[in-house]
């Protein structure tokens, strides 16, 4: 009995206007990368954030019993959650790209039929996924010790996603620009950390001197912290509506710059 074989040559895969399969595959690669070491990427930030809460609550709790009409720990907690989210979103994308560049396997991301926009969104959303995962884990852990009332879920979700996206894109830009780990450390130490600590995470900016108050209002990190906190306690230090617009515009600028860096192969293609 003869056996029939299909001798037709393989045909190239065709894609539509967007290579959804390729983008989804790259996104899953970024997600599986941090889930593989969940003890370091998810559980460790929970422990670190709870230690921050304990230290600041013990050190400043007796001095600042209430802030904005709520107990100090309830004012502090949303800021700590947001910081854990965005720092891990930044770490995910920056480490992914700089490690791929140093090890020489960045070509695995550049060779597939993906446009700069598809690469940008896939990698950035991988960072957002890690940020949101850490945020949920930290919130659950913190809720065991601090009451976590929810005033406006929409504000919480919007600023959680947009804040994680902001630092995810910033991490991609840093990873593309950096030639070695020392360069990436400089981005963290001289850009991310100062903007984070001067964003009103641990205090109300109403208590700052005039010059520092104006600086805080010019810091986009402030608006993602303030809006996220307002979703929990119902009040903020700045304009919530204005902050929503500023965070969106900041992400649009970062998205455009990151896309151009990937589309042109800046420091990625020889």
Alpha carbons 58 and 261: distance in angstroms, whole number: 45
Alpha carbons 86 and 164: distance in angstroms, whole number: 5
Counting residues of the chain whose pLDDT is more than 90, the rounded percentage is 64
> 102 or 69: which carries more pLDDT confidence?
102
Cβ-contact 244, 227 below 8 angstroms: yes
Alpha carbons 111 and 114: distance in angstroms, whole number: 8
At 71 the three-state DSSP class reads: strand
- Please give the pLDDT value at position 17: 81
Q: Taking 80 as the threshold, does the pLDDT of residue 8 lie above it? A: no
Alpha carbons 10 and 228: distance in angstroms, whole number: 52
pLDDT band at 212 (very low <50, low <70, confident <90, very high): confident
pLDDT band at 110 (very low <50, low <70, confident <90, very high): confident
pLDDT, tens digit, 9 for 90 and up, residues 171-186: 999 999 999 999 999 9
Lowest mean pLDDT among 28-32, 41-45, 108-112, 117-121: 108-112
Q: Taking 70 as the threshold, does the pLDDT of residue 34 lie above it? A: yes
Task: Quote the DSSP letter at residue 164.
Answer: H
Q: Taking 90 as the threshold, does the pLDDT of residue 1 lie above it? A: no
Q: Taking 90 as the threshold, does the pLDDT of residue 59 lie above it? A: no
- Please give the pLDDT value at position 6: 61
- Please give the pLDDT value at position 133: 97
pLDDT band at 7 (very low <50, low <70, confident <90, very high): low
Domain ranges of the chain: 20-264
Give one DSSP letter per residue of 181-236, joined into a string. Answer: HHHHHHHIIIIIHHHHHTTTSSS-GGGS-HHHHHHHHT-HHHHHHHHHHHHHHS--
Write a three-state SS string for 112-151: CCCCHHHHHHHHHHHHHHHHHHHHHHHHHHHCCCCCCCCC
At 66 the three-state DSSP class reads: strand
Which tokens is 194 given?
């100062």
């Amino acid at each position: 009995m003869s056996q029939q074989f299909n001798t037709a040559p393989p045909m190239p895969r065709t894609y539509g206007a967007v290579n959804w399969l390729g983008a989804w595959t790259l996104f899953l690669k970024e997600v599986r990368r941090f889930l593989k070491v969940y003890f370091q990427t998810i559980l460790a930030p929970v422990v670190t954030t709870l230690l921050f809460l304990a230290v600041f609550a013990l050190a400043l709790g007796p001095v600042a019993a209430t802030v904005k009409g709520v107990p100090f720990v309830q004012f502090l907690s949303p800021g700590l959650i947001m910081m854990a989210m965005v720092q891990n979103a930044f770490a995910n994308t920056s480490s992914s790209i700089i490690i791929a560049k140093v090890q020489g396997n960045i070509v695995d991301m550049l060779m597939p039929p993906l446009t700069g926009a598809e690469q940008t969104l896939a990698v950035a959303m991988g960072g957002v996924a890690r940020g949101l995962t850490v945020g949920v884990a930290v919130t659950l852990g913190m809720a065991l010790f601090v009451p976590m009332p929810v005033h406006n879920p929409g504000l919480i979700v919007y600023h959680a996603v947009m804040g994680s996206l902001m630092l995810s894109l910033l991490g991609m830009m840093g990873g593309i620009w950096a030639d070695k780990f020392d360069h990436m450390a400089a981005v963290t130490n001289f850009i991310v950390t100062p903007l984070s600590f001067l964003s009103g995470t641990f205090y109300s900016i109403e208590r700052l001197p005039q010059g520092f108050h104006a600086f805080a209002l010019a810091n986009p990190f402030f608006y993602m912290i303030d809006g996220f906190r307002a979703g929990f306690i119902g009040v903020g230090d700045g304009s919530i509506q204005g902050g929503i617009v500023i965070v969106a515009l900041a992400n649009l600028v970062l998205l455009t710059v990151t896309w151009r860096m990937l589309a042109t192969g800046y420091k990625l293609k020889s």
